Amino acid sequence: MTPQFISFEGGEGAGKSTQIALLSAWLEQQKVDHIITREPGGSAGAELIRDLLVKGATDRWEPMTEALLMTASRTEHIHRTILPALAAGKWVLCDRFFDSTIAYQGAARGLGMDSMRQLQTLAFGDVAPHITFFLNIPVVEGLMRARGREGDKQLENTREDRFERMDTSFHEALHDGFVRLTEQEPERIKMINASKSISDIQADIRGYFHQILNNADG
Ligand code: TMP
Protein backbone atom coordinates (compact mmCIF):
# COMPACT_ATOMS: atom_id res chain seq x y z
CA MET A 1 0.00 0.00 0.00
CA THR A 2 1.34 3.46 -0.88
CA PRO A 3 1.47 5.45 2.36
CA GLN A 4 -0.84 8.43 2.13
CA PHE A 5 -0.09 12.00 3.16
CA ILE A 6 -3.29 13.53 4.59
CA SER A 7 -3.61 17.12 5.80
CA PHE A 8 -6.31 18.83 7.84
CA GLU A 9 -7.11 22.50 7.38
CA GLY A 10 -9.49 25.14 8.62
CA GLY A 11 -9.77 28.43 10.46
CA GLU A 12 -9.56 28.79 14.23
CA GLY A 13 -11.62 26.41 16.39
CA ALA A 14 -12.59 24.00 13.61
CA GLY A 15 -11.76 20.94 15.76
CA LYS A 16 -8.90 19.53 13.69
CA SER A 17 -6.93 17.98 16.54
CA THR A 18 -9.95 16.11 17.94
CA GLN A 19 -10.71 14.66 14.50
CA ILE A 20 -7.08 13.73 13.86
CA ALA A 21 -6.90 11.87 17.21
CA LEU A 22 -10.10 9.93 16.42
CA LEU A 23 -8.92 9.09 12.92
CA SER A 24 -5.57 7.95 14.28
CA ALA A 25 -7.28 5.55 16.72
CA TRP A 26 -9.33 4.13 13.85
CA LEU A 27 -6.29 3.75 11.57
CA GLU A 28 -4.55 1.92 14.41
CA GLN A 29 -7.43 -0.56 14.52
CA GLN A 30 -7.06 -0.99 10.74
CA LYS A 31 -3.34 -1.67 11.34
CA VAL A 32 -2.32 1.31 9.22
CA ASP A 33 1.09 2.46 10.46
CA HIS A 34 1.08 6.25 10.68
CA ILE A 35 2.39 9.37 12.40
CA ILE A 36 0.57 12.50 13.56
CA THR A 37 2.36 15.77 13.01
CA ARG A 38 1.57 19.48 12.85
CA GLU A 39 2.48 22.85 11.37
CA PRO A 40 4.05 25.16 12.05
CA GLY A 41 6.28 22.58 13.73
CA GLY A 42 6.68 18.84 13.42
CA SER A 43 10.49 18.68 13.60
CA ALA A 44 12.97 20.10 16.12
CA GLY A 45 13.89 23.20 14.10
CA ALA A 46 10.35 23.77 12.85
CA GLU A 47 9.05 23.75 16.44
CA LEU A 48 11.54 26.50 17.32
CA ILE A 49 10.18 28.57 14.43
CA ARG A 50 6.60 27.82 15.57
CA ASP A 51 7.29 29.52 18.85
CA LEU A 52 8.15 32.75 17.03
CA LEU A 53 4.95 32.63 15.00
CA VAL A 54 2.10 31.65 17.31
CA LYS A 55 2.81 33.83 20.35
CA GLY A 56 3.06 37.55 20.99
CA ALA A 57 1.66 40.69 19.40
CA THR A 58 -0.49 40.34 16.30
CA ASP A 59 1.76 42.85 14.48
CA ARG A 60 4.96 41.12 15.57
CA TRP A 61 5.94 40.27 11.96
CA GLU A 62 5.58 41.79 8.53
CA PRO A 63 3.26 39.55 6.46
CA MET A 64 6.12 38.45 4.17
CA THR A 65 8.40 37.63 7.11
CA GLU A 66 5.58 35.51 8.52
CA ALA A 67 5.13 33.72 5.17
CA LEU A 68 8.86 33.05 4.91
CA LEU A 69 9.03 31.70 8.47
CA MET A 70 6.00 29.44 7.85
CA THR A 71 7.59 28.19 4.64
CA ALA A 72 11.00 27.72 6.28
CA SER A 73 9.47 25.66 9.07
CA ARG A 74 7.54 23.60 6.48
CA THR A 75 10.71 22.92 4.48
CA GLU A 76 12.38 21.54 7.62
CA HIS A 77 9.27 19.53 8.49
CA ILE A 78 9.07 18.00 5.00
CA HIS A 79 12.70 16.90 4.88
CA ARG A 80 13.12 15.86 8.50
CA THR A 81 9.74 14.27 9.26
CA ILE A 82 7.23 13.87 6.41
CA LEU A 83 9.34 12.41 3.60
CA PRO A 84 11.26 10.03 5.93
CA ALA A 85 7.95 8.76 7.37
CA LEU A 86 6.46 8.14 3.91
CA ALA A 87 9.69 6.46 2.79
CA ALA A 88 9.40 4.15 5.82
CA GLY A 89 5.88 3.18 4.75
CA LYS A 90 4.06 5.26 7.36
CA TRP A 91 0.99 7.35 6.58
CA VAL A 92 1.20 10.99 7.65
CA LEU A 93 -1.69 12.83 9.33
CA CYS A 94 -0.71 16.49 9.30
CA ASP A 95 -2.47 19.24 11.25
CA ARG A 96 -2.19 22.06 8.64
CA PHE A 97 0.11 22.21 5.61
CA PHE A 98 0.70 24.65 2.72
CA ASP A 99 -2.99 25.51 2.26
CA SER A 100 -2.68 27.37 5.58
CA THR A 101 0.03 29.62 4.15
CA ILE A 102 -2.05 30.24 1.02
CA ALA A 103 -5.15 31.09 3.10
CA TYR A 104 -3.61 32.84 6.16
CA GLN A 105 -0.71 34.72 4.57
CA GLY A 106 -1.97 34.79 0.96
CA ALA A 107 -5.67 35.59 1.41
CA ALA A 108 -5.97 37.01 4.95
CA ARG A 109 -2.65 38.85 5.25
CA GLY A 110 -3.01 40.08 1.65
CA LEU A 111 0.13 38.65 0.04
CA GLY A 112 -1.89 36.93 -2.69
CA MET A 113 -2.75 33.27 -3.02
CA ASP A 114 -0.76 32.76 -6.24
CA SER A 115 2.39 34.33 -4.78
CA MET A 116 2.15 32.01 -1.81
CA ARG A 117 1.81 28.99 -4.11
CA GLN A 118 4.92 30.13 -5.98
CA LEU A 119 6.81 30.50 -2.72
CA GLN A 120 5.93 26.91 -1.75
CA THR A 121 7.14 25.59 -5.11
CA LEU A 122 10.39 27.51 -4.80
CA ALA A 123 11.01 26.12 -1.30
CA PHE A 124 10.16 22.44 -1.76
CA GLY A 125 8.95 21.69 -5.29
CA ASP A 126 5.82 19.66 -5.77
CA VAL A 127 5.49 17.97 -2.36
CA ALA A 128 1.73 17.97 -1.65
CA PRO A 129 -0.81 16.02 0.38
CA HIS A 130 -2.69 13.22 -1.39
CA ILE A 131 -5.86 14.43 0.27
CA THR A 132 -6.82 17.40 2.41
CA PHE A 133 -9.84 17.76 4.67
CA PHE A 134 -11.02 21.36 5.05
CA LEU A 135 -13.05 21.51 8.27
CA ASN A 136 -15.43 24.32 7.46
CA ILE A 137 -17.07 26.22 10.32
CA PRO A 138 -18.63 29.72 10.33
CA VAL A 139 -16.06 32.29 11.49
CA VAL A 140 -17.93 33.43 14.61
CA GLU A 141 -18.64 29.87 15.75
CA GLY A 142 -15.00 28.84 15.32
CA LEU A 143 -13.66 31.88 17.15
CA MET A 144 -16.03 31.26 20.06
CA ARG A 145 -14.83 27.67 20.33
CA ALA A 146 -11.17 28.63 20.06
CA ARG A 147 -11.47 31.39 22.65
CA GLY A 148 -13.34 29.11 25.05
CA ARG A 149 -10.65 26.47 24.65
CA GLU A 150 -7.78 28.82 25.47
CA GLY A 151 -9.63 29.99 28.58
CA ASP A 152 -7.58 31.76 31.20
CA LYS A 153 -5.63 28.71 32.25
CA GLN A 154 -2.43 29.86 30.59
CA LEU A 155 -0.38 32.94 31.20
CA GLU A 156 -1.01 35.62 28.59
CA ASN A 157 2.48 35.47 27.05
CA THR A 158 2.55 31.68 26.66
CA ARG A 159 -0.75 31.38 24.79
CA GLU A 160 -0.55 30.22 21.19
CA ASP A 161 -3.31 32.57 20.11
CA ARG A 162 -1.55 35.19 18.01
CA PHE A 163 -3.66 34.51 14.89
CA GLU A 164 -6.85 33.99 16.86
CA ARG A 165 -6.51 37.57 18.15
CA MET A 166 -6.51 39.07 14.63
CA ASP A 167 -9.65 41.05 13.80
CA THR A 168 -12.85 39.62 12.33
CA SER A 169 -12.11 40.89 8.79
CA PHE A 170 -8.90 38.81 8.88
CA HIS A 171 -10.87 35.69 9.79
CA GLU A 172 -13.51 36.37 7.11
CA ALA A 173 -10.81 36.74 4.43
CA LEU A 174 -9.18 33.57 5.73
CA HIS A 175 -12.43 31.66 5.41
CA ASP A 176 -12.92 32.95 1.84
CA GLY A 177 -9.37 31.82 1.07
CA PHE A 178 -10.05 28.25 2.19
CA VAL A 179 -13.34 28.15 0.25
CA ARG A 180 -11.56 29.36 -2.90
CA LEU A 181 -8.85 26.74 -2.47
CA THR A 182 -11.52 24.04 -2.22
CA GLU A 183 -13.09 25.31 -5.45
CA GLN A 184 -9.71 25.39 -7.19
CA GLU A 185 -8.75 21.83 -6.18
CA PRO A 186 -11.90 19.78 -5.61
CA GLU A 187 -10.08 16.50 -6.29
CA ARG A 188 -7.64 16.97 -3.42
CA ILE A 189 -9.53 19.15 -0.95
CA LYS A 190 -12.68 17.76 0.63
CA MET A 191 -14.89 20.23 2.47
CA ILE A 192 -16.34 18.85 5.71
CA ASN A 193 -19.16 20.56 7.62
CA ALA A 194 -17.46 21.09 10.99
CA SER A 195 -20.54 22.52 12.70
CA LYS A 196 -21.85 18.97 13.14
CA SER A 197 -21.24 16.80 16.22
CA ILE A 198 -17.76 15.33 16.74
CA SER A 199 -18.95 11.83 15.81
CA ASP A 200 -20.81 12.99 12.69
CA ILE A 201 -17.75 14.90 11.47
CA GLN A 202 -15.61 11.80 12.05
CA ALA A 203 -18.12 9.69 10.10
CA ASP A 204 -17.97 12.16 7.19
CA ILE A 205 -14.16 12.03 7.18
CA ARG A 206 -14.11 8.22 7.31
CA GLY A 207 -16.59 8.17 4.43
CA TYR A 208 -13.71 9.17 2.17
CA PHE A 209 -11.55 6.29 3.31
CA HIS A 210 -12.82 3.70 0.84
CA GLN A 211 -11.49 5.97 -1.88
CA ILE A 212 -8.27 6.70 0.03
CA LEU A 213 -7.58 3.03 0.76
CA ASN A 214 -8.27 2.20 -2.91
CA ASN A 215 -5.79 4.87 -4.01
CA ALA A 216 -3.25 3.48 -1.58
CA ASP A 217 -3.72 0.00 -3.06
CA GLY A 218 -3.41 1.18 -6.65
P1 TMP B 1 -2.77 25.75 15.16
O2 TMP B 1 -3.51 26.71 16.02
O3 TMP B 1 -3.64 24.99 14.22
O4 TMP B 1 -1.77 24.90 15.90
O5 TMP B 1 -1.88 26.62 14.12
C6 TMP B 1 -1.07 27.63 14.54
C7 TMP B 1 -1.45 28.95 13.96
O8 TMP B 1 -0.61 29.27 12.84
C9 TMP B 1 -2.88 29.04 13.45
O10 TMP B 1 -3.46 30.20 14.00
C11 TMP B 1 -2.74 29.18 11.96
C12 TMP B 1 -1.37 29.75 11.75
N13 TMP B 1 -0.71 29.33 10.50
C14 TMP B 1 -0.48 30.27 9.50
O15 TMP B 1 -0.83 31.43 9.64
N16 TMP B 1 0.14 29.86 8.34
C17 TMP B 1 0.58 28.58 8.15
O18 TMP B 1 1.16 28.26 7.10
C19 TMP B 1 0.35 27.62 9.23
C20 TMP B 1 0.82 26.22 9.06
C21 TMP B 1 -0.30 28.04 10.36
Q: Distance between CA atoms of 78 and 191, rounded to whole angstroms? A: 24
pLDDT at 150 over 80: no
Whether ligand 1 lies within 6 angstroms of the CB of 50 is answered as no
- DSSP line for 105-125: IIIISSS-HHHHHHHHHHHHT
pLDDT at 213 over 70: yes
| Ligand 1 atom closest to 104 (CA) | 15
pLDDT score, position 66 = 98
Amino acid at position 26, single letter:
W
pLDDT average, residue stretch 47-70: 97
- What confidence category does residue 154 fall into, taking pLDDT thresholds of 50, 70 and 90? low
Q: Distance between CA atoms of 166 and 144, rounded to whole angstroms? A: 13
Q: Distance between CA atoms of 182 and 98, rounded to whole angstroms? A: 13
pLDDT score, position 158 = 74
Whether ligand 1 lies within 6 angstroms of the CB of 170 is answered as no
Q: How much distance in Å is there from the Cα of 40 to the middle of ligand 1?
A: 6
pTM: 0.96
Q: Measured at the alpha carbon of residue 173, what is the angle toward residues 168 and 179, in degrees to the nearest 5?
A: 130
91-95 vs 189-193, strand pairing mode: unpaired
Instruction: Tell me which of 115-119, 142-146, 185-189 is least confident.
Output: 142-146
pLDDT score, position 18 = 97
What 3-state DSSP class applies to 38? Answer: strand
Q: How many CB atoms lie within 10 A of CB 196?
A: 14
Q: How much distance in Å is there from the Cα of 68 to the middle of ligand 1?
A: 13
- What confidence category does residue 148 fall into, taking pLDDT thresholds of 50, 70 and 90? confident
pLDDT score, position 210 = 80
pLDDT at 151 over 80: no
The residue whose C-alpha atom lies closest to atom 8 belonging to ligand 1 is 54
Q: Distance between CA atoms of 186 and 133, rounded to whole angstroms? A: 11
Q: How much distance in Å is there from the Cα of 217 to the middle of ligand 1?
A: 32
| Ligand 1 atom closest to 101 (CA) | 18
What 3-state DSSP class applies to 91? Answer: strand
The mean pLDDT value of the chain amounts to 95
- What confidence category does residue 106 fall into, taking pLDDT thresholds of 50, 70 and 90? very high
Q: How much distance in Å is there from the Cα of 148 to the middle of ligand 1?
A: 18
Model pLDDT for residues 18-50, shown as the tens digit of each residue = 999 999 999 999 999 999 999 999 999 999 999
Model pLDDT for residues 164-176, shown as the tens digit of each residue = 999 999 999 999 9
Residues ≥6 apart with Cβ < 8 Å to 42: 77, 81, 82, 94
- What confidence category does residue 183 fall into, taking pLDDT thresholds of 50, 70 and 90? very high
Q: What is the spatial order of strands in the sheet that 34-38 belongs to?
A: 34-38, 91-95, 5-9, 131-136, 189-193
More confident residue, 132 or 212: 132
pLDDT score, position 149 = 76
User: Considering the domain 5-216, what is its CATH architecture?
Assistant: 3-Layer(aba) Sandwich (3.40)
**Substitution candidate for ligand 1 out of 8, 12, 39 with most atoms within 8 A of CB:** 39
Provide the percentage of residues in the chain whose pLDDT is more than 70.
96
What 3-state DSSP class applies to 57? Answer: coil
pLDDT at 15 over 90: yes
